[in-house]
Amino acid sequence: MWKRTIIRRLAIALLGIFSIFGVPLLFHLSALPAAANAQLDAVLVLGGSIRREVYVAQLARDWQTSNRTIPILISGGSDPPCTVKVFHLFDAPKENVWLEKCATSTFDNFYFSVPIIKQWQARKIKLITSETHLPRAAWLAKVLFAAQGIWVEVDLAKEIGIPANQESTLKTILDVTRSLLWAVVSQLYTPKCDRLQALSTVNMERWQERGFDCEPQSDLPW
């Protein structure tokens, strides 16, 4: 008799856990086919190489000429004044570009950026990184954004030199594993970044007083 009681309670507990975590996750996953056919809503640029910021600045400039406005989030990228200089160099609009400075790793890029992009109500995003950052970055993006019903298309920036990201099989396995776990937990918990800044608000005079260096391998006329 007591065994049946334990089994019944376990079944009720599992049903409760599924209702809390599984139902929202299934709902978001079911939205992916429609999201895949939607228009591009946002761009996420992963830090590690300023060439990725160069690439998105060129895209932003081209979109401006066609009267398209797409919000851009740069996660863990270069120092803010360097990003400002890149956008100025390519005559790209700085409005609607945001810098997320909480991330210190690839997993953090998505940990902090997914809630921001979800708040923008995006359904389909473009992820900009480098070939040397694959396949880890692409897998993490697809897992963590899919868990929120957001479709991801990956776009690669051409590199000069070697980006900061160093890949390994072990790192990929560990990050993908914790991403699968976080995809479930994120249905209830939303982390917040307290270091989010609009690119248009970067105080260049203050940065010039402090001093800053931009990546020398960027091959840009600083």
Domain boundary assignment for the chain: 19-204
pLDDT at 11: 41
- pLDDT-based confidence at 217, cuts 50/70/90? low
Average pLDDT along the chain: 86
Distances (CA, A) of 96 to 51, 90, 135: 20, 16, 29
Distance between CA atoms of 3 and 1, rounded to whole angstroms? 5
Domain 19-204 has CATH 3.40.50: yes
| Better-scored residue on pLDDT, 9 or 176 | 176
Name, in order, each residue with C-beta under 8 angstroms of 71's C-beta and a sequence gap of 6 or more.
41, 42, 43, 96, 97, 98, 120, 122
- pLDDT-based confidence at 115, cuts 50/70/90? very high
Lowest mean pLDDT among 6-10, 84-88, 145-149, 151-155: 6-10
pLDDT at 19: 46
| Better-scored residue on pLDDT, 14 or 161 | 161
Distance between CA atoms of 78 and 26, rounded to whole angstroms? 36
188 SS3 class: coil
**116-144: average pLDDT:** 95
